[in-house]
Amino acid sequence: MSKDNLLILVDKLDLIKVGSRYICRNNNLKNNKMAEFKQKPGFGSIFKNDYKTADNQPDYKGKILLKDGTEQQIALWIKEGANGKFFSAALSDVYVKPNNNNDSTKNEETDLPF
């Protein structure tokens, strides 16, 4: 690696001292453009599922924006068939984490006759 390349590499990194160790951070992450990214209708993005632990979990997953503006999750599995490997795909509504603060249980506790 030439000195010019090394200087460019060092310029794009921050060294942060934590205790007796140094952490290297990429300067490009300071201005995270991915958070601002908006998908165009009819397009999507798919990424490798690094958290796959079972065969029923997808090999790849992501989100797509349908032409009507509806956002969907997409999951892909790599399958083996008579004609070779292929993708099996599934679309689903975007997962919304349920709220753990269930108001109905609070009302039941306060409505007890004793």
Per-residue pLDDT tens digits for 25-62: 665 555 555 567 788 999 999 999 999 999 999 999 99
Q: How confident is the model at residue 79 (pLDDT cuts 50, 70, 90)?
A: very high
The confidence score (pLDDT) of residue 44 equals 92
Pairing of strands 60-65, 43-48: antiparallel
Whether 99 shows a pLDDT value over 50: the answer reads: yes
Q: Tell which residue, 63, 59, 62, 61, has the closest CA to residue 80.
A: 59
